[in-house]
Amino acid sequence: MKRRPSQGCRPKKAVAKEVGELRARLSECHTGQWRKAQCIFDQMAALTAKQGPMGGKMVPRACRYCGYYGHSRQHCPRIKQLEDEAVEAELRKIAQFKPFVPTTDEEKAWCALIDEHDRVYKELCDMGPANGKEWGDEEWKQAWDARFQSNPSWA
Ligand SMILES: [Zn+2]
């Protein structure tokens, strides 16, 4: 059986696997290891038979944020991690807030008013409008007033 010398006839799967391994190694290289990065990159280019513009030598690019090869700033896993940590820190902060407990009569009245407001709002939403579709402004106002007025604490 005649064997072709070109790498083009190698099974695509084997090439893809090799390129994947090279890519993984490239992504572990920092700008300080540019020689190694270029070497790995050249092997990848040879496997995929890629040529740069005008047939020039292609050089690997490192991320402008972290300096590692194999990804751009937009896909930087280190930026992503910082963002995730910032979100988690924010969530931890929010989780520390304690619910407001009213102490003075004024605060208690205000909280009761808000509770009542929520209750009526939910009640009207659950009930739905007469036409079963959308509340009209006037219809909502009448239903609202009727409920607030019917409550002696707000009369
Ligand atoms: Zn990066």
Residue-level pLDDT at 2: 55
Residue-level pLDDT at 47: 84
Distance 90 CA to ligand 1 centre (A): 23
pLDDT (tens, 9 = 90+) of the chain, 155 residues, equals 555 555 555 578 888 899 999 999 999 999 889 899 999 998 888 887 755 565 667 788 899 999 999 999 999 999 999 999 999 999 998 888 887 888 999 888 888 888 888 888 888 888 888 888 888 888 888 888 888 765 555 44
Dihedral angle computed from the Cα positions of residues 73, 26, 30 and 57, in that order, rounded to the nearest 10 degrees: -80
39-62 burial, b for 16+ CB within 10 Å, e for fewer?
bbbebbbebeeeeeeeeeeeebeb
Residue-level pLDDT at 155: 41
Distance 77 CA to ligand 1 centre (A): 6
Residue-level pLDDT at 63: 94
DSSP symbol at 53: G
Distance from C-alpha of 155 to C-alpha of 140, rounded to nearest angstrom? 19
DSSP symbol at 125: H
Nearest to residue 42, comparing CAs of 62, 23, 63, 59?
59
Distance 145 CA to ligand 1 centre (A): 59
Q: Is-contact 86 94, C-beta < 8 A?
A: no
Residue-level pLDDT at 50: 59
